[in-house]
Every structure is written in structure tokens, then in C-alpha cells.
Amino acid sequence: MAKATFAAGCFWGVEATFRQIPGVTATRVGYIGGNLKDPTYKDVCTDSTGHAEAVEVEYDPAKVSYGDLLNVFWENHDPSQLNRQGPDFGTQYRSAIFYHSPEQEQAARASKQALEESRQFSRPIVTQIVPAVTFYEAEDYHQQYLEKRGLATCHIK
């Protein structure tokens, strides 16, 4: 199994999207990229911890490639919105790829460049591509939040 970590706005919809992909074996939502150890949702919502709401994806590379996961990431949010997605705003809703290896970094940078060159978005792509650091799992009630409520998505796009 391999691991990928993505931030693309509110983690509820992002998690639900990745859970539908054949080859994804597990997901968990949480916080990454900030300066507060063991943050809570309440902490992250202050927009002062530096953490992003993110989804850690465990996947079987024999069934789904990291490139495929990158495509899902790009297709399911607006990477040209700085520190927001739809009505949610703040640095915790930023677009970011947290890579776990040099190969993931290279693939993420190449996919971002290809998206920029496609001119699909009229504004620049603001997605951060940064090393994965400690991932703090969110509170249990956030895990598979939409599934627990019988909802398919909360995505705006």
C-alpha cells in the first residue's frame, strides 16, 4: 500500500470523492502543514494554526496510480482559489499536495505544470506542493462524515 495526502477545501467532500476510487483502500481526514501539535477542529477553524484540512489516502498502486489520484484531486476543486473553496475561506481550506516521496513530488509538479499550460483556469494555479509532515487525524465525527449522513457529496464544483 502507498499513501497520498491532499488538501482541497472542506475535507468531508474530498474524502467522499477519494473513497469512491477503485484501488483506494482507506481514507482519513485530518490536519497537516501547521505549527500546532495535536490540533482540534476548533483550533484549525481559528485560521491561526497553519494547518490545512486534508485527506490521507491509502491506495494500492497496482490498482490505481498516484497520477490517477492527482487527476481526481485537480478535477474536484478549483485550484485557482487562494485559501478558499466555495463559501469556505481561510488558510485551512487551501489547495495543497503533501508529497511522501521524491517521485510523488515530481509527479505533482508535472501535473500542476500541465494544468497551468492547459489554461483551463483563467487565474493562476495556487496549489502548494510541499513535503508531508505530521498528519493529525481529525475527530471521529469528521471521519466519513458524508457517508454517515447518507450524503454523496458537498462539492460545489
Contacts of 2 (CB under 8 A, 6+ apart): 58, 59, 60, 61, 66, 100
Q: How many residues does the chain have?
A: 157
Say what the pLDDT of residue 35 is.
Answer: 96
Give me the residues paired with residue 57 across strands: 4, 27
Virtual torsion, Cα 8, 31, 21, 14, nearest 10 deg: -40
Whether the CB-CB separation of 52 and 42 falls below 8 Å is answered with no
Total domains in the chain come to 1
Whether the CB-CB separation of 57 and 6 falls below 8 Å is answered with yes
Catalytic-residue membership of 10? yes
pLDDT in tens, 108-128: 999 999 999 999 999 999 999
- Which residues does the chain have with pLDDT short of 70? 145-146, 148-157
Say what the pLDDT of residue 154 is.
Answer: 65
Choosing from 10, 29, 69, 108, the catalytic residue is 10
Is residue 136 a part of any domain in this protein?
Answer: yes
Between strands 84-85 and 136-137, the pairing is: unpaired
pLDDT in tens, 39-54: 999 999 999 999 999 9
Whether the CB-CB separation of 33 and 50 falls below 8 Å is answered with yes
Is residue 155 a part of any domain in this protein?
Answer: no
Say what the pLDDT of residue 139 is.
Answer: 87
Say what the pLDDT of residue 52 is.
Answer: 97
Give me the CATH number covering residue 6.
3.30.1060.10
Is residue 71 a part of any domain in this protein?
Answer: yes
Name the residue range of residue 19's domain: 2-148
Which H helix or E strand runs over 98? Answer: strand 95-99
Nine-digit cell at 26? 482507506
Say what the pLDDT of residue 144 is.
Answer: 75
Question: Considering the entire predicted model, what is its pTM?
Answer: 0.92
